[in-house]
Amino acid sequence: MDSVHYIDAIEMEENSTCVVPADSQFYVGLEKWIGHLKGLLMENEASVVAVQCMAGGGKTTLALALCNDLQIREYFDNNVIFITVSESPNLKGILGTMWKKIAGRKRQEFHNLEDAHMQLKQLISRQTKQTLLILDDVWSRADLEYLLFDGPGFKTVITTRDSSFIPTTLSTQFYQLPLLCQEDALSLFCFWAFGQKSIPSTANANLVNQLLEECDGLPLALKVIGSSLHGKSHEAWETAMRKISKGECISDSHKKGLIRLFEITIDSLDDVAKQCFQDLGLFPEDRKICADALLDIWVYVRDLQWHNAFAILSELASKNLLNLSCTSGSRAAISIRNTSELYFSQNNLM
């Protein structure tokens, strides 16, 4: 484990690293997704793998699981670098630390970001060892341009809430991380609520399953709600269910968890898109509704041009703030030319 490097870009100082206690993570439900990513990295020519899902969907947990996977560590000779990029990264600090970890010696002095990128690009093009760079929580193409590199045996995993800015090349593979199925969601919820992977005989199975339905397969919600109810009485569970069914928070930790889940993504929207997002509350949850109905509101009430309204619809979908589907079932068919065939729905947690 000593040669697996974890770097927190938010707290990074010039010569410091932040070690993440990844072994304590509970990876239930992610085993098959880990297997899929391992296949893309070890059996595929892809040099960049972009993993996308909504906030709280398990991107970081999946990335940390890759770091601790024995096959991955063996394949990359323990040369695995984990970097939390975040919304406002210290790019120069990240590049400097990457230099130190890859070169195995004191980092170069960089005049500016362009110089840092160029020097690291030259270093990676000359080195021959297998290396995996994991860039967690990437927000923009501008940041990514300084952090992507090509080199023999050099591969990059990117996790993001919005994959629309990831460059599409022959060497890039996109991976949409699904939400947990019912079986895996139950295991994760029970782990945090009861300390085991199944419903204990002393618990009300019907009540547990009702809460699971409200969590909608979202890992962070399962963890937050499960841990909030750990060790609580039956009456507390019933009260929690009544509150959640009304859209209320059951505790301070639940409230903070859900706010953390969505506020960063919503805050990234401009004012017009935020107003359009609020309009989603006019429609019932988890119900497929023709996108034309929503676009008409934005055109006739919000006074938007049709193409601008569709652009906002696409942006909200790309950020997982709504689910967008087409009657043909093809993602390629989603376009401004066939809005009458498009349907949207919203996660009930939202």
More confident residue, 23 or 136: 136
Q: 49-67, pLDDT tens digit by residue?
A: 988 887 777 888 888 888 8
- Tokens 């890039």, located at residue: 172
Looking at the structure, tell me whether residues 258 and 273 fall in a common domain: no
* Boundaries of domain holding 221: 182-262
Looking at the structure, tell me whether residues 82 and 40 fall in a common domain: yes
The residue among 202, 229, 262 that closes a domain is: 262
Q: Give the predicted TM-score (pTM) of the model.
A: 0.66
User: What is each CA distance from 295 to 126, 310, 320, 324, 341, in whole angstroms?
Assistant: 52, 7, 18, 13, 13
pLDDT at site 259: 66
Tokens of 182: 């019912």
Q: In what order do the strands lie in the sheet with 48-52?
A: 4-8, 80-86, 131-138, 154-160, 48-52, 172-176
Looking at the structure, tell me whether residues 18 and 89 fall in a common domain: yes
Identify the band that residue 3 occupies on the pLDDT scale cut at 50, 70 and 90: very low
More confident residue, 330 or 155: 155
pLDDT at site 300: 92
Kindly state whether residue 350 falls inside one of the protein's structural domains.
Answer: no
Taking the CA atoms of 39, 41, 46 and 50 in sequence, report the sign of the dihedral they define: positive
Q: How many domains does the chain have?
A: 3
Predicted confidence (pLDDT) at residue 184 exceeds the cutoff of 90: no
The residue among 234, 262, 290 that closes a domain is: 262
Mean per-residue pLDDT, 168-180? 83
Q: 77-92, pLDDT tens digit by residue?
A: 888 888 888 777 888 8
Mean per-residue pLDDT, 323-327? 75
The residue among 215, 243, 262 that closes a domain is: 262
Tokens of 59: 């991107």
Identify the band that residue 308 occupies on the pLDDT scale cut at 50, 70 and 90: very high
pLDDT at site 298: 93
> For all residues of the chain together, what is the average pLDDT?
79
pLDDT at site 195: 86
More confident residue, 5 or 15: 5
Rg (CA), the chain: 22
